[in-house]
Structure 1
Amino acid sequence: MSASLVLSDLYLYPVKSLGGIRVTEAVVEARGLRHDRRWLIVDERNQFMTQRQTADMALLKVQPAYNGFLLVHSARPDLLPLYIPFEATPERTLFVTIWDDMVFAWRGAPEADAWLTEALGRVCKLVYMSDMVMRGTDGGEVAGHVSFADAYPFLVIGEASLAELNSRLAQPVPMDRFRPNLVFTGGAPYAEDTWREFQIGELPFRGVRPCGRCVVTTINQETAQKSAEPLRTMAPYRTQGNKVMFGLNTTGPGRGLLRVGDVLTVQKSAE
Protein backbone atom coordinates (compact mmCIF):
# COMPACT_ATOMS: atom_id res chain seq x y z
CA MET A 1 0.00 0.00 0.00
CA SER A 2 2.76 2.46 0.93
CA ALA A 3 4.26 2.49 -2.58
CA SER A 4 0.96 3.77 -4.00
CA LEU A 5 0.90 6.89 -1.81
CA VAL A 6 2.15 10.06 -3.49
CA LEU A 7 2.31 13.70 -2.35
CA SER A 8 -0.10 15.41 -4.76
CA ASP A 9 -0.39 18.96 -3.39
CA LEU A 10 1.45 21.41 -1.14
CA TYR A 11 -0.17 24.50 0.35
CA LEU A 12 1.21 27.50 2.24
CA TYR A 13 -0.88 30.03 4.17
CA PRO A 14 1.49 32.96 4.72
CA VAL A 15 -1.16 34.99 6.60
CA LYS A 16 -3.24 32.93 8.99
CA SER A 17 -6.86 32.52 7.85
CA LEU A 18 -6.35 34.28 4.51
CA GLY A 19 -6.14 32.48 1.17
CA GLY A 20 -3.50 29.83 0.59
CA ILE A 21 -0.81 29.43 -2.04
CA ARG A 22 -0.48 26.17 -3.97
CA VAL A 23 3.17 25.33 -4.66
CA THR A 24 5.09 22.48 -6.30
CA GLU A 25 7.87 22.39 -3.70
CA ALA A 26 8.39 23.77 -0.21
CA VAL A 27 11.20 24.03 2.32
CA VAL A 28 10.55 22.30 5.64
CA GLU A 29 11.60 24.16 8.79
CA ALA A 30 11.18 23.54 12.51
CA ARG A 31 7.76 25.28 12.60
CA GLY A 32 6.43 23.72 9.41
CA LEU A 33 6.69 24.79 5.79
CA ARG A 34 8.75 27.94 5.25
CA HIS A 35 6.53 31.07 5.32
CA ASP A 36 3.48 29.11 6.53
CA ARG A 37 1.35 31.16 8.95
CA ARG A 38 4.17 33.44 10.03
CA TRP A 39 1.90 36.47 9.61
CA LEU A 40 -1.16 36.96 11.81
CA ILE A 41 -3.96 39.53 11.90
CA VAL A 42 -4.97 40.71 15.37
CA ASP A 43 -7.71 43.02 16.60
CA GLU A 44 -7.52 46.15 18.73
CA ARG A 45 -6.96 44.01 21.85
CA ASN A 46 -4.11 42.11 20.14
CA GLN A 47 -6.26 38.95 19.99
CA PHE A 48 -5.82 36.75 16.94
CA MET A 49 -8.46 36.91 14.22
CA THR A 50 -9.65 34.05 12.01
CA GLN A 51 -12.53 33.21 9.70
CA ARG A 52 -14.35 31.74 12.69
CA GLN A 53 -15.39 35.25 13.69
CA THR A 54 -14.63 37.18 10.47
CA ALA A 55 -15.67 35.08 7.50
CA ASP A 56 -14.70 37.82 5.01
CA MET A 57 -11.06 36.96 5.65
CA ALA A 58 -11.67 34.17 3.14
CA LEU A 59 -12.05 36.81 0.43
CA LEU A 60 -8.50 38.11 0.91
CA LYS A 61 -6.36 36.10 -1.49
CA VAL A 62 -2.58 35.82 -1.24
CA GLN A 63 -0.02 35.21 -3.96
CA PRO A 64 3.77 35.55 -4.23
CA ALA A 65 4.86 38.77 -5.91
CA TYR A 66 8.55 39.54 -6.43
CA ASN A 67 11.71 40.35 -4.45
CA GLY A 68 10.45 38.58 -1.34
CA PHE A 69 6.99 40.14 -1.22
CA LEU A 70 3.44 38.80 -1.00
CA LEU A 71 0.47 40.34 -2.73
CA VAL A 72 -2.90 40.39 -0.91
CA HIS A 73 -6.01 40.99 -3.01
CA SER A 74 -9.41 42.10 -1.75
CA ALA A 75 -12.68 41.33 -3.51
CA ARG A 76 -13.38 45.07 -3.39
CA PRO A 77 -12.45 46.81 -6.66
CA ASP A 78 -11.74 50.08 -4.85
CA LEU A 79 -8.87 48.57 -2.83
CA LEU A 80 -5.54 48.23 -4.59
CA PRO A 81 -3.57 45.08 -3.70
CA LEU A 82 -1.45 45.15 -0.56
CA TYR A 83 2.24 44.28 -0.72
CA ILE A 84 3.78 42.75 2.38
CA PRO A 85 7.23 41.14 2.78
CA PHE A 86 7.65 37.44 3.44
CA GLU A 87 9.47 38.47 6.62
CA ALA A 88 9.19 41.50 8.92
CA THR A 89 11.84 43.50 10.79
CA PRO A 90 11.95 44.11 14.57
CA GLU A 91 11.35 47.85 14.36
CA ARG A 92 8.05 47.72 16.26
CA THR A 93 6.95 44.94 18.61
CA LEU A 94 4.05 43.85 20.81
CA PHE A 95 2.59 40.82 22.57
CA VAL A 96 -0.33 39.03 20.89
CA THR A 97 -2.65 36.27 22.04
CA ILE A 98 -3.41 33.16 20.00
CA TRP A 99 -5.58 30.59 21.76
CA ASP A 100 -3.97 30.12 25.19
CA ASP A 101 -0.57 31.45 24.14
CA MET A 102 0.76 34.98 24.50
CA VAL A 103 3.71 35.48 22.19
CA PHE A 104 6.07 38.25 21.17
CA ALA A 105 5.53 39.52 17.60
CA TRP A 106 6.97 42.07 15.20
CA ARG A 107 4.61 44.65 13.75
CA GLY A 108 3.97 44.96 10.05
CA ALA A 109 3.85 48.31 8.28
CA PRO A 110 1.21 50.89 9.33
CA GLU A 111 -0.05 50.87 5.73
CA ALA A 112 -0.83 47.17 6.08
CA ASP A 113 -2.82 47.80 9.27
CA ALA A 114 -4.82 50.52 7.51
CA TRP A 115 -5.45 48.37 4.42
CA LEU A 116 -6.67 45.38 6.45
CA THR A 117 -8.83 47.61 8.65
CA GLU A 118 -10.51 48.97 5.53
CA ALA A 119 -10.84 45.56 3.87
CA LEU A 120 -12.35 43.82 6.91
CA GLY A 121 -14.32 46.71 8.38
CA ARG A 122 -12.75 46.56 11.84
CA VAL A 123 -9.53 47.65 13.49
CA CYS A 124 -6.73 45.27 12.49
CA LYS A 125 -3.00 44.95 12.96
CA LEU A 126 -0.61 42.73 11.04
CA VAL A 127 2.10 40.98 13.06
CA TYR A 128 4.91 38.53 12.30
CA MET A 129 6.40 35.60 14.24
CA SER A 130 10.19 35.75 14.28
CA ASP A 131 12.49 32.77 14.67
CA MET A 132 13.16 33.89 18.26
CA VAL A 133 9.61 33.02 19.37
CA MET A 134 9.19 29.61 20.97
CA ARG A 135 5.51 28.62 20.73
CA GLY A 136 5.01 24.95 21.56
CA THR A 137 2.69 22.49 19.87
CA ASP A 138 -0.75 21.95 21.36
CA GLY A 139 -0.85 20.78 24.96
CA GLY A 140 2.82 19.86 25.07
CA GLU A 141 1.94 16.38 23.78
CA VAL A 142 4.97 16.31 21.50
CA ALA A 143 8.19 18.25 21.47
CA GLY A 144 8.50 20.99 18.90
CA HIS A 145 7.44 24.47 17.95
CA VAL A 146 4.71 25.82 15.74
CA SER A 147 4.01 29.05 13.88
CA PHE A 148 0.64 30.83 14.16
CA ALA A 149 -1.02 27.59 13.01
CA ASP A 150 -3.69 26.43 15.45
CA ALA A 151 -1.78 23.55 17.01
CA TYR A 152 0.73 21.62 14.89
CA PRO A 153 3.19 22.35 12.07
CA PHE A 154 1.44 20.26 9.38
CA LEU A 155 -2.02 19.06 8.44
CA VAL A 156 -2.16 15.98 6.18
CA ILE A 157 -5.27 14.92 4.20
CA GLY A 158 -5.79 12.16 1.65
CA GLU A 159 -7.69 12.86 -1.56
CA ALA A 160 -9.58 9.60 -0.94
CA SER A 161 -10.90 11.01 2.35
CA LEU A 162 -12.33 14.07 0.61
CA ALA A 163 -13.79 11.92 -2.18
CA GLU A 164 -15.55 9.71 0.38
CA LEU A 165 -16.98 12.74 2.17
CA ASN A 166 -18.13 14.29 -1.11
CA SER A 167 -19.93 11.06 -2.01
CA ARG A 168 -22.22 11.80 0.96
CA LEU A 169 -22.81 15.50 0.21
CA ALA A 170 -25.46 16.97 -2.08
CA GLN A 171 -22.94 19.66 -3.02
CA PRO A 172 -19.29 18.51 -3.02
CA VAL A 173 -16.75 20.73 -1.26
CA PRO A 174 -13.18 21.44 -2.41
CA MET A 175 -10.04 20.68 -0.43
CA ASP A 176 -9.61 24.37 0.47
CA ARG A 177 -12.40 24.04 3.06
CA PHE A 178 -9.94 22.06 5.21
CA ARG A 179 -6.78 24.15 4.66
CA PRO A 180 -4.24 21.28 4.56
CA ASN A 181 -0.51 21.65 4.02
CA LEU A 182 0.14 18.18 2.61
CA VAL A 183 -2.29 16.31 0.34
CA PHE A 184 -1.67 12.81 -0.98
CA THR A 185 -3.21 10.38 -3.44
CA GLY A 186 -3.69 6.65 -2.93
CA GLY A 187 -4.80 4.55 0.00
CA ALA A 188 -8.20 4.10 1.59
CA PRO A 189 -10.38 6.96 2.85
CA TYR A 190 -9.22 8.17 6.27
CA ALA A 191 -6.17 5.91 6.22
CA GLU A 192 -4.15 8.86 7.53
CA ASP A 193 -6.09 8.77 10.83
CA THR A 194 -3.95 5.87 12.02
CA TRP A 195 -0.50 6.94 10.81
CA ARG A 196 2.10 7.39 13.52
CA GLU A 197 5.38 7.34 11.60
CA PHE A 198 5.77 7.95 7.87
CA GLN A 199 8.17 9.38 5.31
CA ILE A 200 7.60 11.71 2.40
CA GLY A 201 10.54 11.25 0.11
CA GLU A 202 13.41 10.92 2.59
CA LEU A 203 11.86 13.14 5.29
CA PRO A 204 10.38 11.58 8.46
CA PHE A 205 7.03 12.75 9.85
CA ARG A 206 5.04 11.83 12.93
CA GLY A 207 1.25 11.70 13.00
CA VAL A 208 0.04 13.02 16.36
CA ARG A 209 -3.76 12.81 16.24
CA PRO A 210 -6.71 13.46 13.92
CA CYS A 211 -7.67 17.12 13.57
CA GLY A 212 -10.86 18.38 15.21
CA ARG A 213 -12.63 20.64 12.73
CA CYS A 214 -14.38 23.96 13.31
CA VAL A 215 -16.85 26.19 11.48
CA VAL A 216 -14.19 27.36 9.00
CA THR A 217 -14.93 24.16 7.07
CA THR A 218 -18.48 25.47 6.51
CA ILE A 219 -17.29 28.73 4.87
CA ASN A 220 -17.16 28.88 1.08
CA GLN A 221 -13.63 30.17 0.42
CA GLU A 222 -14.72 31.99 -2.75
CA THR A 223 -17.82 33.75 -1.41
CA ALA A 224 -17.36 33.72 2.42
CA GLN A 225 -20.91 32.34 2.71
CA LYS A 226 -21.60 29.91 5.57
CA SER A 227 -23.69 26.76 5.57
CA ALA A 228 -24.19 23.71 7.79
CA GLU A 229 -22.04 21.51 5.56
CA PRO A 230 -19.84 19.57 5.64
CA LEU A 231 -19.89 19.40 9.46
CA ARG A 232 -23.53 18.28 9.54
CA THR A 233 -22.84 15.31 7.30
CA MET A 234 -19.56 14.38 8.99
CA ALA A 235 -20.88 14.54 12.56
CA PRO A 236 -22.63 11.13 12.69
CA TYR A 237 -19.64 9.12 11.49
CA ARG A 238 -16.54 11.30 12.10
CA THR A 239 -17.09 12.48 15.68
CA GLN A 240 -14.65 11.50 18.41
CA GLY A 241 -15.45 12.87 21.84
CA ASN A 242 -17.12 16.16 21.01
CA LYS A 243 -15.13 16.96 17.85
CA VAL A 244 -15.60 16.17 14.18
CA MET A 245 -12.33 14.81 12.81
CA PHE A 246 -10.86 15.29 9.35
CA GLY A 247 -7.15 15.22 8.51
CA LEU A 248 -4.09 14.37 10.58
CA ASN A 249 -2.14 16.76 12.80
CA THR A 250 1.52 16.08 12.14
CA THR A 251 5.02 17.10 13.18
CA GLY A 252 8.01 17.00 10.88
CA PRO A 253 11.77 16.66 10.57
CA GLY A 254 12.78 20.28 11.19
CA ARG A 255 14.49 20.73 7.84
CA GLY A 256 14.38 19.42 4.31
CA LEU A 257 12.59 19.87 0.99
CA LEU A 258 9.25 18.49 -0.18
CA ARG A 259 8.16 18.22 -3.80
CA VAL A 260 4.85 17.29 -5.35
CA GLY A 261 5.34 13.75 -6.63
CA ASP A 262 7.37 12.54 -3.64
CA VAL A 263 6.47 9.02 -2.56
CA LEU A 264 4.90 8.65 0.88
CA THR A 265 5.78 5.54 2.91
CA VAL A 266 4.01 4.54 6.15
CA GLN A 267 6.31 2.85 8.68
CA LYS A 268 4.03 2.63 11.71
CA SER A 269 0.30 2.85 12.24
CA ALA A 270 -1.85 2.78 15.36
CA GLU A 271 -3.12 -0.68 16.26
Structure 2
Amino acid sequence: MRVHSLFLYPVKSLAGVEVSVIDLDDFGPVGDRRWMLVNDQGEFVTQRKLPALARIGTGIDERGVSVHIPGEGRFHLAPGHEELSVLVWRDWMNSLIGPKQASAAVSRFCERSLRFVYMPDDTFRRVDPARVVDQKRVGFADGFPFLFANQASLDELNSRLKHPVNMRHFRPNIVISGAEPWSEDHWQYLTIGQARFKAVKPCSRCVITTMDPDTGTKDPGTEPLRTLSTYRKTQDGVIFGQNAVHQDGDHLSVGDAVIICPQES
Protein backbone atom coordinates (compact mmCIF):
# COMPACT_ATOMS: atom_id res chain seq x y z
CA MET A 1 0.00 0.00 0.00
CA ARG A 2 1.17 3.49 -0.86
CA VAL A 3 0.21 7.13 -0.62
CA HIS A 4 -1.55 7.78 -3.92
CA SER A 5 -2.09 11.54 -3.53
CA LEU A 6 -2.12 14.34 -0.99
CA PHE A 7 -4.32 17.43 -0.66
CA LEU A 8 -4.31 20.63 1.38
CA TYR A 9 -7.23 22.99 1.88
CA PRO A 10 -5.70 26.34 2.86
CA VAL A 11 -9.14 27.96 3.30
CA LYS A 12 -12.05 25.97 4.70
CA SER A 13 -14.57 25.05 1.97
CA LEU A 14 -12.63 26.66 -0.88
CA ALA A 15 -10.87 24.65 -3.58
CA GLY A 16 -8.04 22.42 -2.43
CA VAL A 17 -4.47 22.08 -3.66
CA GLU A 18 -2.89 18.77 -4.67
CA VAL A 19 0.68 18.54 -3.31
CA SER A 20 3.52 16.03 -3.30
CA VAL A 21 4.54 16.59 0.34
CA ILE A 22 2.62 17.51 3.49
CA ASP A 23 4.51 18.77 6.52
CA LEU A 24 3.04 18.01 9.94
CA ASP A 25 2.71 20.15 13.07
CA ASP A 26 0.48 20.28 16.14
CA PHE A 27 -2.51 21.31 14.02
CA GLY A 28 -2.10 18.35 11.64
CA PRO A 29 -1.20 19.12 8.02
CA VAL A 30 0.77 22.39 7.98
CA GLY A 31 -1.36 25.12 6.39
CA ASP A 32 -4.56 23.10 6.25
CA ARG A 33 -7.73 25.07 7.05
CA ARG A 34 -6.04 27.73 9.13
CA TRP A 35 -8.16 30.21 7.14
CA MET A 36 -11.92 30.33 6.70
CA LEU A 37 -14.79 32.66 5.81
CA VAL A 38 -17.28 33.98 8.35
CA ASN A 39 -20.41 36.12 8.15
CA ASP A 40 -21.09 39.28 10.15
CA GLN A 41 -22.05 37.18 13.19
CA GLY A 42 -18.69 35.37 13.11
CA GLU A 43 -20.30 32.12 11.99
CA PHE A 44 -18.41 29.85 9.59
CA VAL A 45 -19.57 29.74 5.97
CA THR A 46 -19.18 26.72 3.68
CA GLN A 47 -20.30 25.28 0.34
CA ARG A 48 -23.31 23.80 2.11
CA LYS A 49 -24.96 27.22 1.86
CA LEU A 50 -22.71 28.88 -0.72
CA PRO A 51 -21.83 26.34 -3.46
CA ALA A 52 -20.06 29.08 -5.46
CA LEU A 53 -17.19 28.89 -2.97
CA ALA A 54 -15.98 25.86 -4.94
CA ARG A 55 -15.01 28.26 -7.73
CA ILE A 56 -12.56 30.19 -5.56
CA GLY A 57 -9.10 28.78 -6.14
CA THR A 58 -6.36 28.62 -3.54
CA GLY A 59 -2.60 28.55 -3.80
CA ILE A 60 0.46 28.22 -1.59
CA ASP A 61 3.78 29.88 -2.40
CA GLU A 62 6.71 31.54 -0.64
CA ARG A 63 4.40 34.41 0.44
CA GLY A 64 1.88 32.05 1.99
CA VAL A 65 -1.74 31.43 1.03
CA SER A 66 -3.47 33.12 -1.88
CA VAL A 67 -7.00 32.99 -3.24
CA HIS A 68 -8.22 33.56 -6.78
CA ILE A 69 -11.73 35.00 -6.80
CA PRO A 70 -13.48 34.90 -10.19
CA GLY A 71 -13.95 38.36 -11.62
CA GLU A 72 -11.93 39.94 -8.80
CA GLY A 73 -8.36 38.65 -9.10
CA ARG A 74 -5.77 37.07 -6.84
CA PHE A 75 -5.23 38.09 -3.24
CA HIS A 76 -2.59 36.99 -0.75
CA LEU A 77 -3.92 36.32 2.73
CA ALA A 78 -2.03 37.63 5.72
CA PRO A 79 -3.56 37.92 9.19
CA GLY A 80 -3.87 41.35 10.73
CA HIS A 81 -3.88 42.24 14.42
CA GLU A 82 -7.64 42.71 14.92
CA GLU A 83 -9.18 39.79 16.78
CA LEU A 84 -12.61 38.25 16.22
CA SER A 85 -14.46 35.47 18.04
CA VAL A 86 -15.71 32.94 15.46
CA LEU A 87 -17.88 29.84 15.45
CA VAL A 88 -17.28 26.44 13.82
CA TRP A 89 -20.18 24.14 14.63
CA ARG A 90 -20.39 24.40 18.44
CA ASP A 91 -16.86 25.72 19.01
CA TRP A 92 -16.25 29.43 19.62
CA MET A 93 -12.61 30.47 19.32
CA ASN A 94 -10.37 33.43 18.74
CA SER A 95 -9.19 34.40 15.25
CA LEU A 96 -7.38 37.21 13.47
CA ILE A 97 -9.14 39.14 10.71
CA GLY A 98 -7.56 38.91 7.25
CA PRO A 99 -6.99 41.58 4.59
CA LYS A 100 -9.90 43.91 3.94
CA GLN A 101 -9.41 43.93 0.15
CA ALA A 102 -9.75 40.14 -0.08
CA SER A 103 -12.80 40.17 2.18
CA ALA A 104 -14.42 42.91 0.11
CA ALA A 105 -13.75 40.97 -3.10
CA VAL A 106 -15.21 37.70 -1.80
CA SER A 107 -18.22 39.61 -0.46
CA ARG A 108 -18.90 41.02 -3.92
CA PHE A 109 -18.47 37.59 -5.51
CA CYS A 110 -20.85 35.91 -3.04
CA GLU A 111 -23.21 38.90 -2.82
CA ARG A 112 -23.12 38.95 0.97
CA SER A 113 -20.85 40.29 3.68
CA LEU A 114 -18.00 37.88 4.44
CA ARG A 115 -14.58 38.08 6.05
CA PHE A 116 -11.45 35.97 5.87
CA VAL A 117 -10.19 34.97 9.32
CA TYR A 118 -7.07 33.11 10.45
CA MET A 119 -6.50 30.76 13.39
CA PRO A 120 -3.34 31.90 15.20
CA ASP A 121 -0.94 29.56 16.97
CA ASP A 122 -2.23 30.55 20.41
CA THR A 123 -5.80 29.43 19.65
CA PHE A 124 -6.35 25.86 20.83
CA ARG A 125 -9.42 24.11 19.42
CA ARG A 126 -9.56 20.61 20.79
CA VAL A 127 -10.41 17.53 18.75
CA ASP A 128 -13.63 15.90 20.02
CA PRO A 129 -12.70 14.45 23.45
CA ALA A 130 -15.38 11.78 23.05
CA ARG A 131 -13.29 10.35 20.19
CA VAL A 132 -9.75 11.34 21.18
CA VAL A 133 -8.62 11.26 24.81
CA ASP A 134 -5.31 13.02 24.13
CA GLN A 135 -5.19 16.81 23.99
CA LYS A 136 -5.07 17.00 20.20
CA ARG A 137 -5.83 20.23 18.37
CA VAL A 138 -7.40 20.99 15.01
CA GLY A 139 -7.73 24.07 12.82
CA PHE A 140 -10.98 25.11 11.16
CA ALA A 141 -11.65 21.62 9.75
CA ASP A 142 -15.07 20.27 10.70
CA GLY A 143 -13.74 18.13 13.52
CA PHE A 144 -10.50 16.26 12.86
CA PRO A 145 -7.11 17.20 11.35
CA PHE A 146 -6.84 14.35 8.81
CA LEU A 147 -9.15 12.55 6.43
CA PHE A 148 -7.97 9.31 4.83
CA ALA A 149 -9.60 7.95 1.69
CA ASN A 150 -9.10 4.67 -0.14
CA GLN A 151 -8.70 4.85 -3.93
CA ALA A 152 -10.15 1.34 -4.31
CA SER A 153 -13.31 2.40 -2.49
CA LEU A 154 -13.78 5.28 -4.93
CA ASP A 155 -13.26 2.86 -7.84
CA GLU A 156 -15.88 0.51 -6.39
CA LEU A 157 -18.34 3.36 -5.90
CA ASN A 158 -17.75 4.58 -9.45
CA SER A 159 -18.58 1.11 -10.76
CA ARG A 160 -22.10 1.74 -9.46
CA LEU A 161 -22.49 5.28 -10.82
CA LYS A 162 -23.72 6.32 -14.23
CA HIS A 163 -21.37 9.30 -14.11
CA PRO A 164 -18.16 8.57 -12.17
CA VAL A 165 -16.85 11.15 -9.71
CA ASN A 166 -13.29 11.92 -8.70
CA MET A 167 -11.72 11.98 -5.27
CA ARG A 168 -11.98 15.76 -4.99
CA HIS A 169 -15.71 15.37 -4.28
CA PHE A 170 -14.71 13.92 -0.89
CA ARG A 171 -11.98 16.44 0.06
CA PRO A 172 -9.48 14.01 1.67
CA ASN A 173 -5.99 14.91 2.84
CA ILE A 174 -4.45 11.49 2.20
CA VAL A 175 -5.48 9.04 -0.53
CA ILE A 176 -4.15 5.49 -0.23
CA SER A 177 -3.82 2.94 -3.02
CA GLY A 178 -3.23 -0.80 -2.92
CA ALA A 179 -5.91 -1.63 -0.34
CA GLU A 180 -9.14 -3.57 -0.74
CA PRO A 181 -12.34 -1.54 -1.24
CA TRP A 182 -13.80 -0.37 2.08
CA SER A 183 -11.00 -1.94 4.10
CA GLU A 184 -10.52 1.51 5.67
CA ASP A 185 -13.61 0.75 7.79
CA HIS A 186 -11.35 -1.46 9.92
CA TRP A 187 -8.16 0.60 10.01
CA GLN A 188 -7.06 1.50 13.54
CA TYR A 189 -3.40 2.47 13.44
CA LEU A 190 -1.36 3.38 10.37
CA THR A 191 2.29 4.06 9.75
CA ILE A 192 2.92 6.21 6.68
CA GLY A 193 6.57 6.73 5.93
CA GLN A 194 7.96 7.72 9.34
CA ALA A 195 4.67 9.13 10.69
CA ARG A 196 2.10 7.30 12.80
CA PHE A 197 -1.67 7.86 12.78
CA LYS A 198 -4.73 6.70 14.64
CA ALA A 199 -8.08 6.38 12.86
CA VAL A 200 -10.73 7.78 15.19
CA LYS A 201 -14.05 8.11 13.36
CA PRO A 202 -15.67 7.06 10.07
CA CYS A 203 -16.34 10.19 8.03
CA SER A 204 -20.05 10.88 7.55
CA ARG A 205 -20.69 12.68 4.28
CA CYS A 206 -22.84 15.70 3.52
CA VAL A 207 -24.31 17.49 0.51
CA ILE A 208 -20.90 18.93 -0.47
CA THR A 209 -20.05 15.54 -2.03
CA THR A 210 -22.85 16.12 -4.57
CA MET A 211 -21.30 19.35 -5.86
CA ASP A 212 -18.96 19.59 -8.81
CA PRO A 213 -15.60 20.59 -7.25
CA ASP A 214 -14.86 22.92 -10.17
CA THR A 215 -18.21 24.69 -10.58
CA GLY A 216 -20.11 24.16 -7.34
CA THR A 217 -23.06 22.87 -9.35
CA LYS A 218 -25.14 20.33 -7.43
CA ASP A 219 -25.79 16.99 -9.09
CA PRO A 220 -29.52 16.82 -9.93
CA GLY A 221 -29.68 13.23 -8.69
CA THR A 222 -27.71 14.04 -5.51
CA GLU A 223 -25.00 11.63 -6.60
CA PRO A 224 -22.77 10.13 -5.33
CA LEU A 225 -24.47 10.57 -1.95
CA ARG A 226 -27.67 8.85 -3.08
CA THR A 227 -25.87 5.70 -4.19
CA LEU A 228 -23.60 5.68 -1.14
CA SER A 229 -26.66 5.85 1.10
CA THR A 230 -27.94 2.55 -0.33
CA TYR A 231 -25.03 0.53 1.07
CA ARG A 232 -22.80 2.75 3.19
CA LYS A 233 -25.27 4.05 5.77
CA THR A 234 -24.37 3.44 9.43
CA GLN A 235 -25.21 4.90 12.83
CA ASP A 236 -22.55 7.54 12.06
CA GLY A 237 -24.25 8.53 8.78
CA VAL A 238 -23.37 7.82 5.14
CA ILE A 239 -19.70 6.89 5.31
CA PHE A 240 -16.74 7.47 3.01
CA GLY A 241 -13.24 7.69 4.48
CA GLN A 242 -11.77 7.78 7.97
CA ASN A 243 -10.97 10.75 10.19
CA ALA A 244 -7.63 10.50 11.96
CA VAL A 245 -5.09 12.17 14.21
CA HIS A 246 -1.33 11.84 14.00
CA GLN A 247 0.84 10.64 16.84
CA ASP A 248 4.27 11.66 15.55
CA GLY A 249 6.25 12.36 12.38
CA ASP A 250 7.10 15.56 10.53
CA HIS A 251 6.07 14.97 6.92
CA LEU A 252 4.35 12.73 4.35
CA SER A 253 5.14 12.25 0.68
CA VAL A 254 3.35 10.77 -2.30
CA GLY A 255 4.64 7.22 -2.72
CA ASP A 256 5.28 6.65 0.99
CA ALA A 257 4.64 3.09 2.16
CA VAL A 258 1.50 2.59 4.25
CA ILE A 259 1.34 -0.10 6.93
CA ILE A 260 -1.91 -0.92 8.71
CA CYS A 261 -1.39 -2.01 12.32
CA PRO A 262 -3.99 -3.81 14.46
CA GLN A 263 -2.72 -2.05 17.56
CA GLU A 264 -0.59 0.92 18.50
CA SER A 265 3.05 0.34 17.66
| TM-score for the superposition, normalised by structure 2 | 0.94
Distance in 2, Cα, partners of 1:258 & 1:161: 22
- 2:257 pairs with 1:263: yes
Match of 1:189 in 2: 181
| Closer, same or farther: CA 169–127 of 1 in aligned 2, 3 Å | same
Match of 1:236 in 2: 230
- After superposition, residues 93-242 of structure 1 pair within 5 angstroms as 93-142=83-132, 143=134, 144-227=136-219, 228-241=222-235
Match of 1:9 in 2: 5
Letter matched to residue 73 of structure 2: L
**Secondary structure at the counterpart of residue 253 of structure 1:** strand
Letter matched to residue 8 of structure 1: H
Match of 1:69 among 64, 84, 93: 64
Distance in 2, Cα, partners of 1:255 & 1:140: 24
**Secondary structure at the counterpart of residue 104 of structure 2:** helix
Match of 1:251 among 240, 245, 254: 245
| Closer, same or farther: CA 54–139 of 1 in aligned 2, 3 Å | farther
Letter matched to residue 127 of structure 2: T
Once the two structures are TM-superposed, the CA of residue 139 in structure 1 deviates from its matched residue by 4.8
Distance in 1, Cα, partners of 2:227 & 2:163: 11
| Closer, same or farther: CA 244–183 of 1 in aligned 2, 3 Å | same
- Which consecutive segments of 4 or more residues in structure 1 shift more than 6 A? none
Q: Is the 8 A contact 1:31 1:254 kept in 2?
A: no
RMSD: 1.3
- Equivalent residue pairs, number: 259
Q: Is the 8 A contact 2:202 2:236 kept in 1?
A: no
1:232-254 per-residue CA deviation (whole Å, 9 max, x = no partner) reads: 00101000026100000000025
| Closer, same or farther: CA 113–213 of 1 in aligned 2, 3 Å | same
Report which stretch shifted further, 201-210 or 139-148. 139-148
Q: Is the 8 A contact 2:161 2:224 kept in 1?
A: yes
Distance in 2, Cα, partners of 1:50 & 1:189: 29
Distance in 1, Cα, partners of 2:129 & 2:206: 18
Distance in 1, Cα, partners of 2:142 & 2:129: 11
Distance in 2, Cα, partners of 1:7 & 1:242: 26
Distance in 2, Cα, partners of 1:141 & 1:105: 25
Match of 2:40 in 1: 44
Q: Any gaps of 5 or more consecutive residues in structure 1?
A: none
| TM-score for the superposition, normalised by structure 1 | 0.92
Letter matched to residue 7 of structure 2: Y
**Secondary structure at the counterpart of residue 258 of structure 2:** strand
